[in-house]
A and B are shown apart, each in its own frame.
Chain A
Amino acid sequence: MTSLPDMTTPNVAGLARDAAAHARPVDVPTPDAGQEAVFEFLLRIGDNALILGHRVSEWCGHSPVLEEDIALANQALDLIGQCQLWLGLAGEIEGKGRSADNLAYLRDAWDFRNALLVERPNGDFGQTLMRQFLFDAFHIEQLRALKASADPRVAEIAAKAEKEAAYHLERSADLVIRLGDGTEESRARMQAALDLLFPYTGELFLDDATDEAVAEAGIAPLPSSLKPAWEQTVAAVLDEATLIHPGEVYQHKGGKRGVHSEYLGFILAEMQFLQRAYPGATW
């Protein structure tokens, strides 16, 4: 794209030819996964960002120290921004004219595809941080892999989001370590948070038919392929934090196929209130 002053150049035709020669084709060929599978995959990643962003934003003005208010607002902002990109692309691929806002505000809980982990309540600040850490360690691996996606639109969004997720992980891992290896109370709280949330991590790495279809088309990695790196990060951080790894425990699942906890309905009731109460209004 040329900068604005260049648009006044006398040789407009030449400029246009030049721009056309370097432009990416407008119709990006969707690789060979069925459209539905790609749409579904984009909802999963977009809904994770939306629902976690919502949860994090609930802290605004209520966190333990001013710097945390700032950091959490920033993180929520990153996640909402990512959700706009993922859901925007999902709507485009679906081809039914639905925007990111339509998808965020006008679907009911059973159509949401986020993992159960991100809809867990904030709890105390330790639970919020632990949820973030367990998710960030997965998110970074997912985005790194997506940078090599066969769909350039996916790769582009992933490249942008990866920078943000790397910072999120640096921050959440650092705080988990400090609080784990802090006072007796902070350690107990972090251990309790870990034990509470660990049973919701397994779902992040489950493969299903959708995952297999998009992986086969080279659009996204198989979730199970991300697990070893995640395990490594988690083990190293928990070790430094002096926290005890919960080991093999029962793992809940359901979010990514639309079977959620009771919490999601309340999140949506709050989030979607204006769009539902005043249909058709523009804001």
Chain B
Amino acid sequence: MYAQLVKSEGAKSRDEMSPEEIAFQERIDRGEKIEPKEWMPEGYRKTLVRQIGQHAHSEIVGQLPEGNWITRAPTLERKAILLAKVQDEAGHGLYLYSAAETLGVSRDELLEKLHSGNMKYSSIFNYPTLNWADIGAVGWLVDGAAIMNQVPLQRTSYGPYSRAMIRICKEESFHQRQGYDIMMKMAAGTPEQKAMAQDALNRFWYPSLMMFGPSDKDSVHSAQSMAWKIKINTNDELRQKFVDQTVPQAEYLGLTIPDENLRWNEEKGGYDFSEPDWSEFFAVIAGNGPCNKERLGARVKAWEDGEWFREGLMAHARKEDARRAAAKVAAE
């Protein structure tokens, strides 16, 4: 997850493909993994760079809404769990930037695109975390939605991406359980704590549904990605699965999902539910979410303030190289 609206071209028909492209598609159809140095269509490479890059950016921007509560976590244990979780997110960013590097794009190039607004991160991280239960809701709903999308991506066609996803999924499911654990404590706590839990659910429900991206009928970029197995399920399939999984969990907590139209549909074997407000989604993507400026601003500030630090380390490394070279000359 964390990659919404990743642009790719429409799927090519077999007649339009070159012999190389046909051979490539056949490998994917056989379930083979594509590895970094192997031939791949330029469109495949570009789409993957966008998707993996956006995913990586989401992990590092995603540190911010949760990091917002580290210094205010209510117990030492909760603080330690949250720190470990945010550290995991940074680690995910690291694997994903590394996976993108195997496609010939450096981390610095991707960051430059993030900072200049030319690459996006998931819209969800532009929502604020306002009370402690939000930390539970982010784990339960946001990581829950992410897992829904990432589990199939473990089978994605690009080897390094697939391997990164396997590792990431293990940690994400742990995070989801930790988030749900916070929700259980809050929902079973004092009336104020239960109110915080309900408030968090009210605010995170629709943004979580938006994480799967627009409805299939409006999502024009999926076909080629699905043919290449960069994307495995459609947005609507995953959203339905998420709702079906989450509703009983909310009931167990004694919380109410903020949707009057939510009801079980026996015929389809799933819940009917209201669509999120897509105009809000597009507003957030366009930069008008509640925290877009703060999130991107924080990342740009961290990067700019850290320039002297990175430069200093590079300068030291150059000096060390020079000293070693001089010592070698002196020894000869």
Q: Is A178 an interface residue, CB under 8 A from the partner? A: yes
Q: Contacts A66-B90, A77-B84 hold; do A60 and B309 have CB atoms under 8 A apart?
A: no
Alpha-carbon gap, A175 to B312, bound state (A): 10
Q: In chain A between 201 and 252, which residues have their CB closer than 8 angstroms to a CB of chain B?
A: none
Fill in one digit per residue for B57-78: 1 if any A CB lies within 8 Å of its CB, else 0: 0001001100100111011111
Q: In chain A between 166 and 200, which residues have their CB closer than 8 angstroms to a CB of chain B?
A: 175, 177-179, 181-183, 185-187, 189
Chain B positions within 8 Å of A70 at CB level: 87, 90-91, 94
The answer to whether A61 and B312 touch across the interface, beta carbons within 8 angstroms, is no
Q: Is B326 an interface residue, CB under 8 A from the partner? A: no
The answer to whether B189 and A282 touch across the interface, beta carbons within 8 angstroms, is yes
Instruction: Choose among B80, B91, B312 the residue that contacts A183 (Cβ–Cβ < 8 A).
Output: B312
Alpha-carbon gap, A266 to B103, bound state (A): 47
Q: Which stretch, A37-45, A254-262, A267-275, touches the partner chain B?
A: A267-275
Alpha-carbon gap, A87 to B312, bound state (A): 38
Q: Which stretch, A28-36, A78-86, A147-155, A157-165, touches the partner chain B?
A: A78-86
Q: Contacts A61-B302, A69-B63 hold; do A283 and B74 have CB atoms under 8 A apart?
A: yes
The answer to whether B315 and A65 touch across the interface, beta carbons within 8 angstroms, is no
Instruction: Choose among B78, B302, B313, B317 the residue that contacts A62 (Cβ–Cβ < 8 A).
Output: B302
The answer to whether B84 and A283 touch across the interface, beta carbons within 8 angstroms, is no
Q: Contacts A61-B67, A73-B87, A274-B132 hold; do A183 and B76 have CB atoms under 8 A apart?
A: no
Tally of contact residues, B, Cβ under 8 A: 50
Q: Contacts A183-B315, A185-B311, A270-B71 hold; do A80 and B83 have CB atoms under 8 A apart?
A: yes
Fill in one digit per residue for A52-70: 1 if any B CB lies within 8 Å of its CB, else 0: 0010011011111111111
Q: Is B118 an interface residue, CB under 8 A from the partner? A: no
The answer to whether A61 and B77 touch across the interface, beta carbons within 8 angstroms, is no
Chain B positions within 8 Å of A280 at CB level: 190
**Nearest chain B CB to A106 CB, angstrom units:** 12
The answer to whether A84 and B313 touch across the interface, beta carbons within 8 angstroms, is no
Chain B interface mostly helix, strand, loop or mixed? Answer: helix
Determine the interface band of chain A, counting residues with CB < 8 A from chain B. Answer: 35 or more
Pair count A-B, CB < 8 A: 149
Chain A positions within 8 Å of B72 at CB level: 270-271, 273-274
The answer to whether B309 and A64 touch across the interface, beta carbons within 8 angstroms, is yes
Fill in one digit per residue for B83-125: 1 if any A CB lies within 8 Å of its CB, else 0: 1101100110110010000000001000000000000000000
Chain A positions within 8 Å of B83 at CB level: 57, 60, 73, 76-77, 80
Alpha-carbon gap, A67 to B189, bound state (A): 38
Chain A positions within 8 Å of B301 at CB level: 62
Q: Is A263 an interface residue, CB under 8 A from the partner? A: no
Alpha-carbon gap, A248 to B63, bound state (A): 42
Alpha-carbon gap, A275 to B317, bound state (A): 47
The answer to whether B312 and A58 touch across the interface, beta carbons within 8 angstroms, is no
The answer to whether A80 and B308 touch across the interface, beta carbons within 8 angstroms, is no
Chain A positions within 8 Å of B93 at CB level: 66
Q: Is A145 an interface residue, CB under 8 A from the partner? A: no
The answer to whether B76 and A83 touch across the interface, beta carbons within 8 angstroms, is yes
Give the residue name and chain of the B residue nearest to A83 (CB): B76
The answer to whether A66 and B94 touch across the interface, beta carbons within 8 angstroms, is yes
Alpha-carbon gap, A189 to B315, bound state (A): 15
Chain A positions within 8 Å of B316 at CB level: 177-179, 181-182
Q: Is A156 an interface residue, CB under 8 A from the partner? A: no
Chain B positions within 8 Å of A187 at CB level: 312
The answer to whether B74 and A57 touch across the interface, beta carbons within 8 angstroms, is no
Q: Is B16 an interface residue, CB under 8 A from the partner? A: no
**Nearest chain A CB to B296 CB, angstrom units:** 12
The answer to whether B70 and A186 touch across the interface, beta carbons within 8 angstroms, is no
Alpha-carbon gap, A274 to B76, bound state (A): 12
Q: A residues near B, CB below 8 A? A: 50, 54, 57-58, 60-70, 73-74, 76-77, 80-81, 83-84, 87, 100-101, 104-105, 124-126, 175, 177-179, 181-183, 185-187, 189, 270-271, 273-275, 278, 280-283
Q: B residues near A, CB below 8 A? A: 60, 63-64, 67, 70-72, 74-80, 83-84, 86-87, 90-91, 93-94, 97, 107, 132, 182, 185-186, 189-190, 192-193, 298, 301-303, 305-317, 319
9 contacts across the A-B interface (CB closer than 8 A): A54-B71, A60-B86, A64-B306, A65-B310, A105-B74, A126-B309, A178-B312, A185-B312, A281-B193
